[in-house]
Amino acid sequence: MNTMILICAAWDEETKYLKVDQDKIKILHLGIGYLEAALNLEKYLLNLRLEKPQINYLKEISCIYFLGTAGLMSDTDIDWDFPVFSVSQSLISLPNSILHRAYVPKPYAEYHLSIDKNLELEKALSISSLEITMSRDLSREICSAYNSSLVLENMELYGVAKVAHRFGLSIKAILGVTNITGMQAHEQWSSQHQVVSKLLCETLTKSLAKL
């Protein structure tokens, strides 16, 4: 059976530099935020089942790759000429719980992602929320709560990881840092996202060429 790789991203700007075999790879643009990303990925997978009811359609998908830009939450020195990382774990961001202003009755799942062995990238923890963190102090509180030296903020990955886990699909994620979380986050992202998106696409293209 021929298998297919799904490449997911929030929007087309993050995948436009990809050079891939369109017969073996499907690119999905899932929208902004983990809720929209989860709903649109699930919708795609369920529609695929309707189109192919006579076969185990999930066996046709060998892996999901997620490409996305991210903000650097931790006070870690990184190589800004190549700020690209593999994600080993995806969590949901709960700043009010961390600051003891709220609580959740049942902990949210933590998802461990597969690592692309064709890429020698530093591993990072990713957290997702429906908003961008604009406080360095809050960023440091979050990093301390997760006890990680390299924490990235991406709005979509948690939703994609959740759906992949539900459907029993392997997921790998590559994030490129465009900004430091804080008051200047949007301005930094606006000036860097084209350059970083190109680095992400070039990195994934090289990996896929080895398959």
CB count within 10 Å of CB 191 equals: 11
Per-residue pLDDT tens for 148-187?
A: 889 999 999 999 999 999 999 999 999 999 999 999 999 9
Phi and psi torsions of 169, nearest 5°: -105, 140
What pLDDT is attached to residue 167?
94
What pLDDT is attached to residue 149?
86
Per-residue pLDDT tens for 3-53?
A: 889 999 999 999 999 988 777 899 999 999 999 999 999 999 999 888 877
Taking 70 as the threshold, does the pLDDT of residue 54 lie above it?
A: no
Helix (H) or strand (E) holding 51: helix 34-51
The contacts found for 23-26 with CB under 8 angstroms, 24 or more apart, are: 25/208
- Indicate the angle between helix axes 157-166 and 34-51, nearest 10 degrees: 30
The helix/strand/coil state of 193 is helix
Helix (H) or strand (E) holding 9: strand 4-9
DSSP code per residue over 129-172: -SS----HHHHHHHHHHHT-S-EEE-SSHHHHHHHHHHTT--EE
Average pLDDT, the chain: 93
CA distance 61 to 163: 14
Evaluate whether 76 touches 19 at the Cβ level (below 8 Å).
no
What pLDDT is attached to residue 132?
94
What pLDDT is attached to residue 17?
94
Rounded to two decimals, the pTM is: 0.94
